Amino acid sequence: MAKLLIANWKANPENLTEARRLARNTDSVRVVIAPPFPFLETVGNTIKKADLGSQDVFWSSGAYTGAVSVSQLKKLRVKYVIVGHSERRRHFNESNETVNRKLKAVIDAGMKVVLCVGEGPEYRRNLSGARTFVNHQLKSALKGASAKNLIVAYEPVWAIGTGSPDSPEHAAEMAAEIKNTVGRLSSQKDVPVLYGGSVTFRNAARFLSLPEISGALVGGASLDSREFRKIIRLVL
Ligand code: 13P
């Protein structure tokens, strides 16, 4: 199966000129670019082969200061929406319930949802603890949802932005567990699972060659177009 790369730019780059350049230089099939909201329209108009993604969404339109709605994203031709990223959970206090509402709104709108899950450092060397934690995140996020158009990104919090990625073996075990759990909770039997957390060209092939892993969610390395292009070559 073809593998997918999602570039999560987070709050980068600094300006529209840089965003346009980065989008042009990393535009490719099998790539989703998720820029910050102010750059969505420009990046969407720049890319010819990649798909457009959003890093977050709010489930409603109307009187919600600072929020961006599902229908607004849809009109910008956003196809993928990331929900529940650990940075949203941590810095913006997003609860499992919030993640659930966002996920349902994205699915109802017919867009693909990229649900991020992952355990913190307390479970780093504790596989059963990590499984229990992630299964709880999945169960809460998928409550009452159809799980249609669902992609799960497994991002152990301790591996994000640390230069210290998960081991491919552990990531594969967690991906298998996630597939099992989603299969039990919904009709989706073989949910695609991406790996995220300190993915670079040096380690990407190890994750991308695993049958359990359908691609990667890339932060830092997606901001360096030369580096990211090397990762893209691995999925073409
Ligand atoms: P890094 O690739 O910078 O570790 O970030 C991972 C991530 O959080 C992608 O969503």
Alpha carbon of 113 to ligand 1 centroid (Å): 17
Which residues, in sequence order, are bridge partners of residue 58? 69
Q: Say how many residues make up the chain.
A: 236
Residue nearest to atom 9 of ligand 1 (CA): 219
What confidence tens digit (pLDDT) does each residue in 25-51 have? 999 999 999 999 999 999 999 999 999
Q: Whose CA is nearest to atom 1 of ligand 1?
A: 219
| pTM beyond 0.95, yes or no | yes
Which numbered atom of ligand 1 lies nearest the CA of 116? 10
* Separation of CA 201 and ligand 1 centre (Å): 13
Domains, the chain, in order of start with CATH, read 4-235 (3.20.20.70)
How many whole angstroms from 63 Cα to the centroid of ligand 1?
31
Q: Is the dihedral of CA 46, 107, 137, 209 positive or negative?
A: negative
Active site residues per annotation: 85, 155
pLDDT band at 148 (very low <50, low <70, confident <90, very high): confident
Confidence of residue 166 (pLDDT cuts 50, 70, 90): very high
Q: Mean pLDDT throughout 17-22?
A: 98
Q: What pLDDT band is residue 190 in, cutting at 50, 70 and 90?
A: very high
Binning pLDDT at 50, 70 and 90, where does residue 174 land?
very high
**Pair 78, 54: CB distance under 8 Å:** yes
> Whose CA is closest to atom 5 on ligand 1?
219
Q: Closest ligand 1 atom, CA of 162?
A: 4
Name the residue of 4, 115, 160 to mutate for ligand 1: max ligand atoms within 8 A of Cβ.
Answer: 160
Residue 139: exposed, middle, or buried by beta-carbon count in 10 A (0-12, 13-18, 19+)?
Answer: middle
Whether residue 1 is predicted with pLDDT greater than 80 in this model: the reply is no
> Ligand 1: which residues within 6 Å by Cβ?
8, 85, 155, 160-161, 196-199, 217-221
Secondary structure element (H or E) that encloses residue 29, with its range: none
The string of pLDDT tens digits covering residues 61-114 is 999 999 999 999 999 999 999 999 999 999 999 999 999 999 999 999 999 999
Task: Tell the residue nearest (CA) to atom 2 of ligand 1.
Answer: 219
The rounded distance, in Å, linking the Cα atoms of 194 and 151 is 8
CA of 86 to the centre of ligand 1 (A): 10
- 160 alpha carbon to ligand 1 midpoint, in Å? 5
Q: Kindly report the average pLDDT of the chain as a whole number.
A: 97
**Single-letter residue type at 92:** F
E-assigned strand segments in 112-155: 112-117, 150-154
218 CA: nearest ligand 1 atom: 2
Residue in this structure with the two tokens 């969610």, named with its chain if needed: 217
pLDDT tens digit sequence for 203-224: 999 999 999 999 999 999 999 9
Structure confidence at residue 146 (pLDDT): 86
- List, in sequence order, every beta strand (DSSP E) within the chain: 4-8, 31-34, 51-54, 78-83, 112-117, 150-154, 193-196, 215-218
Pocket test for ligand 1, best of 55, 199, 223, 224 (most atoms within 8 A of CB): 199
Q: Which helix (H) or strand (E) holds 65?
A: none
| pLDDT, tens digit (0-9, with 9 covering 90-100), for 219-229 | 999 999 999 99
Return the pLDDT at 147: 82
- Give the torsion through C-alpha atoms of 118, 74, 21, 7, to 10 deg: 10
